[in-house]
Structure 1
Amino acid sequence: MNKRQWLETLVGFDTTSRNSNLELIAALRDNLEQQGIKPWFAHNKEKTKANLFATLPATAGANAGATQGGIVLSGHTDVVPVDGQKWDTDPFKLVEKDGALYARGSCDMKGFIATAMALTPEFLAMPRTKPLHLAFSYDEEIGCIGAPAMLEEIVKRGIKVDGCVVGEPTSMNVVVAHKGINVFACKVHGKSAHSSLTPQGCNAIEYAARMICAIRDFADAYKANGPYDQFFDVPFTTMTTNQIRGGIAVNTIPELCEFTYEFRNLPGMTVADIQAQIDVYVRDVLLPKMKTEFADARIEIDNFAGSPALEAVEQAAITELVRALTGDRETRKVAYGTEAGLFQQIGIPTIVCGPGSIDNAHKPNEFVTLAQLDRCEQFLRKLGKSLETA
């Protein structure tokens, strides 16, 4: 299949993160096995989702058959929901219009996976002296939850890789850094009472609100005082509260309030140092106040998802290679997160470069242009050929 046919196939699977991706993974597996490639998988605990990793061994010279070294092409198979969005077409059916392909995931990021799969027969026919690897993950969109299981298996299997290209949408420009993302779930436990008897209760929503305001104060401080990195589109660390739930009735003091917050940190800033500010506020200010009203009041915080920041090394071979193949020498750093930081964390030099604009991701009528997919195809073909003399 060509890249358009592959993309049509891939977007036809509704791999919204709440769903299984196993049908899509099976389609990739079957195609690879037909070409003599035996992928392996790293599943979630429930066995309802899977990462796929496949190695196209070296094909030439003394290294023929080698599976160590080479380059990884990485992409995630899940997509964000379409709930509440107004689409002009079926989001899970590829539609071509005015030089663009519309569907959920066409840009973020099944276009990259489709292009890599379409080129696999060419890759296999190239006289490569180093292998090429495919790494396709699940649950990237809800905090990069899936990839760690695959990376753990890579380490366990002793697989050594020279570099990695994560094909998130960058308009085929080179991105050398992105922020880290960390998502926290907070549960504030108070005491219920009839709302006419407020001294007998401890209002979980009101104390959660104080904590949320404190998080906003910390965020405002980062905006006002830095640290800054002007290469980023948002040049400071951000913190936001994005979901909240609490209360059971208008006349009942709530005993529980739950909310989630996230921060997106600049490279070089540690998760522990940022979260420590919130922990100190809870321990020294908020919880003592709550306990004057209810001795058993408590606040639970769980860091349930996250991915480290990426800061690529300009002198790394993968950075120099991707810059040479694209002709892009600009320094670009982005506020959104990817799985690139996870690859870097296990010692694999990584860069981000893929088709489509991030401005089109996650929106209704998401699309990728045919021109972008063509540029991706040309880039990946050159990357494969670079392994002929690596």
Structure 2
Amino acid sequence: MRQMVMVSDQTINEALRLGTSMAAIELMIPILKKYGIANFDVSLDYLPSDGVPKQLLLHPLLRCKIHSSLDEIAKVRQMGFSKVILSWFHQPSQSSLDQLTEALTAAQEFAQEIYLCIENAEELTIPELTSYWSLLSRYRVKRFIYQDVRSSLEPLGVCRKLESLQQTVPCPIEFHGHNTYGLATANSLAALRSGVQYVAAAVSGIGSPNHAAMEEVLMAVKHLWKQDQVPSGSSLTADCIEILSYMGISLPVDKALIGRDVFAHESGIHVDGITKNPLLYEVIQPEEVGQTRQLIIGKHSGTASLKIKFLQWNLELDQAETLELLEKVRRLASVQKRPLSDLELHQLYWRRNQMDQSQLG
């Protein structure tokens, strides 16, 4: 059976980069913990100059990412961090490797857990990567973080390379992809397919550079591998929106899975099909992510859409009044250059009824 997917969260680090208050960050953490978070990563570069609150500093899932320099190692030691990610950019020289060895030695003096991140791992050959294995063993590195900082990887290559590396690596591998070319989620899923258990992600894929979207990874894992880490009766959409609101970020209406309009349908044929069989257009059901299906009435709507919409309000339209109302709907939508709201649709319907009543009178 596939092991549970563990997410190394990058959302909190982005919140720090944006200057989000510590009070807001403390509210974000319990929301994120509902979704199988292995670690919360923070960069020393973004930590506030006036210090980190003790309750956050002592959080058991917090890791601090630093450059592999003795100055930064001394800083995180003084601050009281017990989990440290040493970030390293590979250079083909023995002198640089000596510098990394020195950094690992210094970190080992105080850190309970050491992680080694090779930022440009995607550029390295397998022999170049395996040259680090002796250091991983010697310093009891907890996980080796394979980072794609230039977003140059593609899913098939990720799967092949990570499968090969896992045959000899002395500790678990963690995959950290970026999204410059829109492949972070796909590459993360490829890493999971290879047998990797840990992947970096952020809510809605936010970050600089962007990351894999946490909600996309978790829902893909649920449907591809039948492994459900999203709590039943999910409030995933609301949770993501709340987290982003603490950072002052507005969610795009078309954001995959959690955007307001993702489960909105307007086209007549489209609506007719989804009413008969939702799986025609929705591999993931809106209820799974805390959303509901919306039928949008506008210039692309047909009679089926209009009838279904009114049936939701327990109003049954006959064919003649459907056609008459549809003509008015399309005319108004074209003038407004947008679909009609439910209120506008109601008003059209009741005006028509009032006119019919006055004619009868």
Q: Which TM-score band (shorter chain)?
A: under 0.3
The structure that is helix-richer by fraction is 2
Q: TM-score, normalised to structure 2's length?
A: 0.24
Q: State which structure, 1 or 2, has the greater radius of gyration over its C-alpha atoms.
A: 2
Q: TM-score, normalised to structure 1's length?
A: 0.22
The structure that is strand-richer by fraction is 1
**Which has the higher relative contact order, 1 or 2, with Cα contacts under 8 A spaced 6 or more apart?**
1
